[in-house]
Amino acid sequence: MNIFVTGGAGFIGSNFVFHMLDTYPDYRIVCLDKLTYAGNLSTLAPVMNNPNFRFVKIDICDREAIYKLFEEEKPDIVVNFAAESHVDRSIENPEIFLQTNILGTQVLMDACRKYGIQRYHQVSTDEVYGDLPLDRPDLFFTEETPIHTSSPYSSSKAGADLLVMAYHRTYGLPVTISRCSNNYGPYHFPEKLIPLMIANALADKPLPVYGEGLNVRDWLYVEDHCRAIDLIIHKGRVGEVYNVGGHNEMKNIDIVKLICKELGKPESLITHVEDRKGHDMRYAIDPTKIHNELGWLPETKFADGIKKTIKWYLDNKEWWETIISGEYQNYYEKMYGNRGTI
Ligand code: NAD
Ligand code: TDX
């Protein structure tokens, strides 16, 4: 089996590459990644010499290069992680989100049609469902929840999902889609909530919580997500959407306080800053379908996963210190330098 993993130098994609190489010693895994600011080749260093692994620096929007690679490698399955993934960046500059997330998806699926494929899998997000109110803890996102997006990022992901379903219906492309809640774990880029707070707390820097910090996210340990995608590409029904999440709802403020506690840092580092524009209140997944059809259940409880994650960031300082000492520094200054405290 030859599997293309796009975006494999990013957070979830790299964890998926490791999972697949460990689980299937007879599979060939080809990672396609443009190496944007979020892609990091050093993450893949442990597998670079694995004879079952190949890395190709490529933009999924580059039709000619993508077709050439399909012709050469003839993949059986494509798993598309490649995306611009950060909501705050999409609010600053939506265009690259539309290009990569929608048009890049189109190029990949056109290649799948042209060269033939057993499965095209789109890694999507629960953000396509919009948000749930805080005062209705009985409500969850199911696969039937209408698409209702809030940010340019989620709109671009929803646009891609609709296109994937259109390619299935119109051209009969064998597709599946997974919509996952917030992931956390090793190799999470330090612009996102959990790694940002760990890095700032370790440096005794302010911990910028948007608004009151009452927004709720449904956290999933990245390895659990990788197992879910593994199951879907092998056993999931073509043309279906699977929600992936594990009833691990947490308020942002509680996560930040927990990180302070685990690192022995004072909560006085917490600074409430101007809220994100259009900030979604609550995400919460109903995973009944993937549980009933594929037997998937998350294995890592948040209390354990966050400890493992903090330990990983402590043991792998070089990985994230290199990132935050570079170009990311300018981004941080731009995004947080002028953000008023409240
Ligand atoms: P990430 O930002 O850490 O990694 C994205 C990767 O895609 C990077 O390696 C980057 O270089 C690559 N990339 C970007 N544009 C590209 C292009 N044009 N061509 C080729 N490669 C390109 O993102 P992540 O958090 O690992 O998310 C992976 C996927 O999972 C995304 O599709 C995202 O929408 C989805 N998702 C993420 C989460 C989460 O909590 N992180 C939750 C649900 C869904
Ligand atoms: O500095 C911060 N302060 C803060 O309060 C940052 C970076 C975030 N937040 C809040 C905003 C959100 O309510 O924390 C929450 C989580 O924020 P992010 O880590 O940016 O994640 P989110 O916006 O929820 O989106 C993530 O999950 C769904 C991923 O980045 C998406 O790619 C995925 O689709």
DSSP 167-222: HHHHH---EEEEEE--EESTT--TTSHHHHHHHHHHTT--EEEETTS--EEE-EEH
Q: Is 245 in the pocket of ligand 1 (CB under 6 A)?
A: no
The answer to whether the CB of 47 is under 6 A from ligand 2 is no
CA separation for the pair 262, 264 (Å, rounded)? 6
Give the integer Cα–Cα distance in Å for 250 and 48.
Answer: 36
Element (H, E) at 35: none
Angle at 84 between CA 246 and CA 106, to 5 degrees: 100
- Is the confidence at residue 329, as pLDDT, over 80? no
Kindly tell me if the per-residue pLDDT of 283 is higher than 90. yes
Residue 234 lies in a domain: yes
CA angle 98, 162, 247 (to 5 degrees): 95
Query: Which residue type sits at 147?
Result: I
Residue 278 lies in a domain: no
The pLDDT of residue 336 is: 85
Quickly state the pLDDT bin for 246 (edges 50, 70, 90). confident
Q: Binning pLDDT at 50, 70 and 90, where does residue 338 land?
A: confident
- Helix, strand, coil shares of the chain, percent, nearest 5, are 45, 20, 35
- Write the single-letter amino acid at 275: D
The whole-number pLDDT of residue 244 equals: 98
Contacts of 48 by beta carbon, 8 Å cutoff, 6+ apart: 55
Domain that holds residue 119: 2-184+219-244
253 lies in some domain: no
Whole-number pLDDT of residue 337: 81
Would you say 248 and 225 are in contact if contact means Cβ atoms under 8 Å apart? no
Ligand 2 proximity of 218 Cβ (cutoff 6 Å): no
Please report whether residue 145 resides in a domain: yes
Beta bridge partners of 5: 31, 79
Residue 74 domain flag: yes
State the Cα angle at 34 between 32 and 38, rounded to 5°: 110
Ligand showing the shortest atom-to-Cα distance for residue 281: 2
pLDDT score for 239: 98
Mean pLDDT of 135-160: 98
Residue 342 has pLDDT above 80, yes or no: no
Of 341 and 266, the one with more pLDDT: 266
Whether the model clears a pTM of 0.75, i.e. scores above it, the answer is yes
Report the chain's terminal Cα–Cα distance, integer Å: 54
86 Cβ closer than 6 Å to some ligand 2 atom: yes
Which tokens hold the place of 230? 């593994």
What's residue 112's pLDDT? 98
Alpha-carbon span 38 to 227, nearest angstrom: 23
The answer to whether residue 126 is catalytic is: yes
pLDDT of residue 263: 98
**What is the identity of the amino acid at 114?**
K
CA atoms of 257 and 270, how far apart (whole Å): 8
Quickly state the pLDDT bin for 332 (edges 50, 70, 90). Answer: confident
pLDDT at 54: 98
In the predicted model, is pLDDT for residue 304 greater than 90?
yes
Q: Inform me whether the pLDDT recorded for 334 exceeds 90.
A: no
Q: Bridge partners of 183?
A: 220
For a mutational test of ligand 2's pocket, the pick from 89, 147, 210, i.e. the residue with the most ligand atoms closer than 8 A to its C-beta, is 210
Cα 181 to Cα 174: distance, rounded to the nearest angstrom: 24
Whole-number pLDDT of residue 268: 98
CA distance 43 to 41: 5
pLDDT tens-digit series, residues 253-276: 999 999 999 999 999 999 999 999
Strand partners, 55: 31
In the structure, what pLDDT confidence band is assigned to residue 211 with cuts at 50, 70 and 90? very high
Q: How would residue 326 be classed by pLDDT, with cut points 50, 70 and 90?
A: confident
6 lines ligand 2 (CB under 6 A): no
The CA distances from residue 258 to 218, 295, 306, in Å, are 16, 31, 9
- State the average pLDDT over residues 224-247: 97
Q: What is the mean pLDDT of the chain?
A: 96
**What CATH number does residue 114 fall under?**
3.40.50.720
Q: Return the pLDDT at 176.
A: 99
69 falls within a domain: yes
Residue 339 lies in a domain: no
Residues 49-57, mean pLDDT to the nearest whole number: 97
- The pLDDT confidence band at residue 198, using thresholds 50, 70 and 90, is very high
Amino acid at 54: R
* Mutation to probe ligand 1, out of 5, 17, 30, 36 (largest number of atoms < 8 A from CB): 36
C-alpha to C-alpha distance for 142 and 129, rounded to whole angstroms? 9
Name the phi and psi angles at 2, rounded to 5: -110, 120
User: Would 263 be classed as within a structural domain?
Assistant: no
Q: Provide the number of structural domains found in the chain.
A: 1
CA distances to 59, 62, 149, 290, 291 from 156, rounded to whole Å, are: 17, 18, 9, 24, 28
Residues whose CB is less than 8 angstroms from the CB of residue 276 and which lie 6 or more positions away in sequence, other chains included: 87, 88, 91, 210, 211
Nearest ligand to the CA atom of 17: 1
* pLDDT score of 230 more than 80: yes
- Position 42 scores a pLDDT of 92
